[in-house]
Structure 1
Amino acid sequence: MKSYAAAWLTSGTQLQFRRSAFELMRRIEHKPHELIYFHRSDDPYSQLMVQVLPDLAARFDVVIRPLVVERLPAAMYPDPQRFEAYSILDATRLARLYGLGFPSSATVPDRLAVGMANRHLTKLQNDPNFFAVAEEVGAALWRQDIKAVRSLCVAADIDEKTLENNERLLRSLGHYASGNIFYGGEFYPGLDRLDHLERRLNRLSLGDNEVHFELTRLWRYGLESMDRSVSGRTLELYFSVRSPYSYLGLYHGAELAAKTGLRLKLKPVMPMVMRGLKVPPTKARYILHDTAREARMENIPFGRAVDPLGLATERAMALGFRLAEDGEDLAFFKAFTRAVFAEGIDGATDQGLSRVLARAGISSSKLSGALSPDVWKPRAEKNRQMMLMSGSWGVPTFRIGNETLWGQDRMWAIVEALKQH
């Protein structure tokens, strides 16, 4: 029953119902189409957003209300140092892809300068020039030009409660990250999700019927003509069978490998919760709904989820590590994650695992050959340590050559890395 409830909560039908209800209330209350944008000066993704939002406002009949935040919930970021360092590198890649300004030599900005910038911009939240000023101030921050920041940011006499209220609103609406747009019950964080917003606004007949922010989804074009020298190279994938993003990552990685001749090497790791780390409910809810819309976009089944936490994960790991010895781990893990995230199959039972093996084209006799915990657990921990050493903190993480790429939506960056080499 829980799997059917999850399927309804993440379905396109339920999403359309919520959107229609929101639009009806908006019309009744005579409110404009208002997008709330949460900005943070030391967020590299925010620096990219302020460069594109004026164009979005010009293309669509919407009002964008910027709000500045400064303190993000610590519990949402299990490894903030690695996340911060990676975000800067990732923003550099995105800037190149979209032709935006962001210094390739950027480092973590000066904290005092960041405080000045946030307070100056908070004072300008209602100023029509907010985005232009935010871009200029942010550019100075990211190139470590403290003198320019001081010159641009006049003494801002603001009530600190303004920042606190903005942060409280972000949490109450159901999210935790900056560089983020909220409209009608849904969040669109960063450039990666703006295409979802564009499509939604176009369906409301508010814009130009174009989608400008889908470049990250075009990675499949040209794969057939890619230099065959990439064939035989190894793409590592660190993933968790409990991560819905890993489920999508397994499908994308397998597709890329099939089309290019890459060797996909799987590196399973234990889920965060089973390592003693917590995933706050707010984060879990967003991940579930975001995975659902990403899966719909990519035509990957998703929704009838049965949480594999605990025994199901342990049995999948014990069996998957064994099947890797026969080269059958990719087929198994694809089938297992599809079973628990899209088909409502309980991966903790012999019956459920037998169905998974059958769908993977693997003999059910392999079920009895699962490895013992004292064998597979050290291997899973070794994979986690290797992932940390590569500069990543979570799954799914791809590793190609010296490049570390986090997220199922970074296939375009993997392709870019292949072409560069």
Structure 2
Amino acid sequence: MSLKKTLRPFGAEWITSSFKLGLERRLQEWKRKLTGKEHELLYFHRADDPYCQLMVQILPELAQRFQVTIRPKVLERLPGSMYPDPIRFEAYSIVDASRVAKLYGLGFPADATVPDVLSTGMVNRQLASIQDKPDFFAVAEELGALLWRRSVSRIQEKCSVALVEEETLRANERLLISLGHYASGSLYYAGEWYTGIDRLDHLEQRFNSLLIGDGEVHYDLQRLWRYGLRRSKVSSASGVIDFYFSLRSPYSYLALEQLAALSAETGVKLNLKPVLPMVARGLKVPDTKKFYIVKDAKREALQHDIAFGRFADPLGKAVHYGLAIGQYLSTIDRGKELAFYRVFFRSVMAEGIDASTDKGLQKITEKSGISLAIVRDALQQQEWQEALEENRKEILQYGCWGVPVMRANGKTFWGQDRIWALAEALGEKTPT
């Protein structure tokens, strides 16, 4: 193994370390004080992003609680390379936004559909023309509500005098990219990104550490699913969770650790259904996206007390070895399948073990309690590739495009931060 490959996990550990993050934050705060600037956030808004409709309802209150200035930047187009299946992503986002709106008591129509292109263009341009005005959030909420209800005549009435703000939109899109991000509904503060409501608790905690907040965290409800289990009807009678994951996905690792805890506490069964990593399926993941995912996964891991950071990228042989062994275990000893995948994830994502080498793979299998004979038999199998392809087709059928995906009681959830919704679904009666 080359020296570069040996050192790479330690480089990843440094990049995601709390020590480095603390240094960067102190430097940012020192620079802010030196220049006499106020605490300022940039918010990137896109009218046809359902999560943005939720954000504009809560950001004014957030600004008051923490005495910060929020400067909106309206977008129309996002970097296409960041979204491998934009149609499925758009459709799922609408359903998911409705789910999150209910969790936080926000307005969003349960029957919302994709807005029409003409109305979207009018609303985005109207908002771009007033993005520096104090009433931006109120207007954005009002026009967004009309957009998601497809009230075309009302939109035309309210946007008829909108100036053409093409250059403003393009400048905002360039700014988003230059700051190292790709998604609307995101906040940028002093070198860090916070995308959607699901990451606002990180921002609240950061402001509280600066002693500029009220000391409270309002947007952590999605993390409280464990506390609800004792009051819920979730039990082994609730059936099975189908879990689709990739051995290269940090979010899959975080989801599996949480699902293992849910299964241990309730007795709900996990049906593990791996898929090949996106890159192995010919889909590119741009560096900007990879960098954000790794840093975001680190702070999420810290919230859930999951080890993460010394990352030895398993793409290639390591993934193939892991999948071959895991799938073989699923046919001969399902009791060890979950344990193996958990050890594999932790080894490559937190301990820097190179699973593509004989030495690294041996460490992983020994920790998993798997014999050398089973490893040899597993690596001779080829059928696992067909099973993975079937799993890939299934997530497409369920309206998703990537992992982690969880499915239970006839409902589909994407992302490691939707276990609260999964737990709710498990407590519901099974559809007849």
Structure 2-normalised TM-score? Answer: 0.96
Deviates more, 1:350-359 or 1:265-274: 350-359
1:385 alignment partner, SS class? helix
Q: Does 1:26 align with 2:42?
A: no
Shift of 1:360: 2.1
Gaps of 5+ in 1: none
Question: For residue 164 of structure 1, what is the amino acid of its counterpart?
Answer: R
Q: Distance in 2 between matches of 1:200 and 1:343?
A: 27
What are the equivalent positions in structure 2 for 1:57-206 lying under 5 Å apart? 57-206=63-212
Aligned to 1:278, the other structure's residue is in SS state coil
Q: Distance in 2 between matches of 1:265 and 1:279?
A: 27
Q: Is 1:398 aligned with 2:384?
A: no
Q: Cα deviations across residues 32-87 of structure 1 (Å, max 9, x unaligned)?
A: 10000000000000000000001101101110000100100111000111000000
5+ long unaligned stretches in structure 2: 1-6
Q: Provide the rounded CA distance (Å) in 2 between the counterparts of 1:69 and 1:228.
A: 42
2:394 to 386, 391, 396: 386
Mean alpha-carbon deviation: is it higher for 218-227 or for 115-124?
218-227
Q: Could you tell me which of 350, 365, 382 is aligned with 2:373?
A: 365
CA offsets per residue over residues 225-265 of structure 1, 9 Å max, x none?
43255436100100000011111011011111111111000
The 2-side partners of 1:71 and 1:265 are apart by: 38
1:415 aligns with one of 395, 420, 423 = 423
Query: Is 96-105 or 220-229 further displaced after alignment?
Result: 220-229
- Cross-structure match for 1:9: 15
**1:352-401 Cα deviation digits (max 9, x unpaired):** 12211222233343211214463111111011011111111100000112
Q: Deviations over 1:113-146 (max 9, x none)?
A: 0000000000111110100000000000001111
Alignment of 1:167-316 (within 5 A): 167-227=173-233, 229-231=235-237, 233-316=239-322
1:110 to partner: Cα distance: 1.0
Aligned length: 421
Q: Which whole-Å CA distance do the structure 2 matches of 1:100 and 1:167 have between them?
A: 27
* Percent of residue pairs bearing the same amino acid type: 54
Q: Distance in 1 between matches of 2:170 and 2:29?
A: 29
Q: Tell whether the 8 Å contact from 1:230 to 1:418 is kept in structure 2 after alignment.
A: no
Residue 342 of structure 2 aligns with an amino acid whose one-letter code is K
Q: 2:326 aligns with which of 314, 320, 339?
A: 320
**1:48 paired residue among 49, 54, 74:** 54
- Write the distance in 2 (CA, Å) between the matches of 1:152 and 1:71: 22
Question: What CA deviation, in whole Å up to 9, does each residue of 1:300-326 have, x standing for no partner?
Answer: 000111000101001111111001121
Q: Say which SS state the counterpart of residue 227 (structure 2) adopts.
A: coil
Is contact 1:226–1:260 with CA below 8 Å preserved after alignment?
no
The corresponding residue for 2:3 is none
The Cα shift of 1:153 comes to 1.7
**1:223 positional shift:** 1.5
| TM-score normalised by L of structure 1 | 0.98
